Amino acid sequence: MAGCCWMVSQHLLLSTPPNHVPLNFSSALISSTPLSFSLGSGSRSRVRGRASARARARATRTPNALSVSASSTLQALIFDCDGVILESEDLHRRAYNDAFSHFNVRCPSSPSQHPLNWDSHFYDQLQNRIGGGKPKMRWYFKEYGWPSSTVFDTPPEDDGDRAKLIDILQDWKTERYKEIIKSGTVEPRPGVLRLMEETKAAGIKLAVCSAATKSSVILCLENLIGIERFQGLDCFLAGDDVKEKKPDPSIYQTAVKRLGVSEKDCLVVEDSVIGLQAATGAGMSCVITYTSSTADQDFKDAIAIYPDLSNVRLKDLELLLQNVVPAK
C-alpha cells in the first residue's frame, strides 16, 4: 500500500489551562483507555515529532482482531466530517472563543479580566476527549464554575437556565463557524474527494456521520465536497439525529440501518479515538486519518492509520477489510 500507516501507543493527559485547577474527567465522558503521561510546555511538539518519525518508518500494519467476519466485503464507506473531510479543530476553537467574547463569558475560577478563551493546546486535548460542543461546555462549566455573561448577569443556578446558556452559546458559535466556512479559505483534506469518487463509481454506498450540528455539517459538505456530491450521499447523519454523541455508537448503528448493509461490511474513516470507539462499538472496522491534534492518540483498535488519504485508494481499503481477522 502506498499510503503510510502507523500506530502510536502513548496517551494524552489534558494539561491545566491557565489559572485553572487540573482537569478531571469523569468516566462517563472519557474513553476507558488509561492516561499514561502528561504534556508539559514544549513536550507536545516533541512527542509529535517522534510519532511522525514512527509514521515514516512504518509503512504497513497488520489489521487488529475485531468481531467481524474474515469474509467481509466493502459495501459502505462512512466518513466522519470534522478532522476527516476538513481540518476543523482550530476553526471550531476560534468560533467558541468568539462566542465567549461576544457574550462576555467569565468563569468564577479564573482571575482573568478577559472573557473565557480556550488556547489551542487546551482545546486540542479537550475536543479529543469529549465529543460534541454542548457536552464540552457543560463539562467545562461544571468543572470550573458556571459563568456570568450577558445572557445571565450572575451564574445560572438551575438546570433550565444552564441549558439555555449553553444553547445560546452553541447556536451563536455555530453561526460563526458557518461564516468561517463560507469565507472560501477552507479546503478538503488531501485524497477525500478522489476517494469519494472512487467509492461511488464502484457502486459502494457512501455516507457521512458527524457529531456536529446538522446545519454546520451541511454547510461544510456543500462548500467542501460540493452540492452534487452531498446530494449523492446514501446516508447523512449529524449530532442532531441521535440522542448520544460519539463515543456512543448510536450514530453508526443508525447509519447501518439506513444503509441496509451489515456492520461487518462497513468501513469507517475517523480521525480521533472518540470516533474510533464509536465505530468499533457499533461493530464496524475503522481506519484513522489523523490530524496534528490527534496524532498522539492510541489507535490500537484501528485496522490502519494514515497521515492523510492522498495515497489511499479504494482497492486498498477493500483489501484491508477482507483481511480483518475475526475475534476469537
Q: Which of 34-48, 70-84, 122-136, 176-190 has the lowest mean pLDDT?
A: 34-48
Of the residues 80, 98, 298, 316, only one is catalytic, namely 80
SS3 for 208?
Answer: strand
Query: pTM score, two decimals?
Result: 0.71
Looking at the chain, which runs of residues are DSSP E strands? Answer: 76-79, 205-209, 235-237, 266-270, 285-289, 304-306
Q: What is the pLDDT of residue 71?
A: 64
Overall average pLDDT of the 277-287 stretch: 98
What's the N-to-C CA distance of the chain in angstroms? 27
Round the average pLDDT of the chain to a whole number and report it.
Answer: 82
In SS3 terms, 83-139 reads as CCCECCHHHHHHHHHHHHHHCCCECCCCCCCCCCCCCHHHHHHHHCCCCCHHHHHHH
Task: Identify the CA nearest to 19 among candidates 105, 90, 116, 98.
Answer: 116
Q: Residue 2: name the closest of 328, 309, 284, 283 by CA.
A: 309
Predicted pLDDT of residue 60? 37
Active site residue 82: yes
Across 47-53, average pLDDT: 41
pLDDT of residue 11: 33
pLDDT at 308 over 90: yes
pLDDT, tens digit, for every residue of 229-275? 999 999 999 999 999 999 999 999 999 999 999 999 999 999 999 99
- The C-alpha cell that represents 71 in the structure block: 469474509
d(CA 266, CA 25): 31
Is the pLDDT at 14 greater than 60? The verdict is: no
Q: Which entry of 82, 98, 124, 234 is annotated as an active-site residue?
A: 82
* 296 flagged as catalytic: no
pLDDT at residue 43 is higher than 50:
no
> What is the average pLDDT across 62-80?
71
Q: 239 near 81, Cβ under 8 Å?
A: no
Tell me the one-letter amino acid at 155. Answer: P
pLDDT band at residue 132 under the 50/70/90 scheme: confident
Q: What domains can be seen in the chain, in order of their start residue?
A: 76-87+187-323 (3.40.50.1000), 89-182 (1.10.150.240)
Q: Taking the CB of residue 257, how many other CB atoms lie within 10 A of it?
A: 10
Rounded Cα gap, residues 328 and 325, in angstroms: 9
CA–CA distance from 7 to each of 4, 12, 294 (Å)?
Answer: 10, 14, 12
**Over the stretch 190-241, which tens digit does the pLDDT of each residue have?**
999 999 999 999 999 999 999 988 988 999 999 999 999 999 999 999 999 9
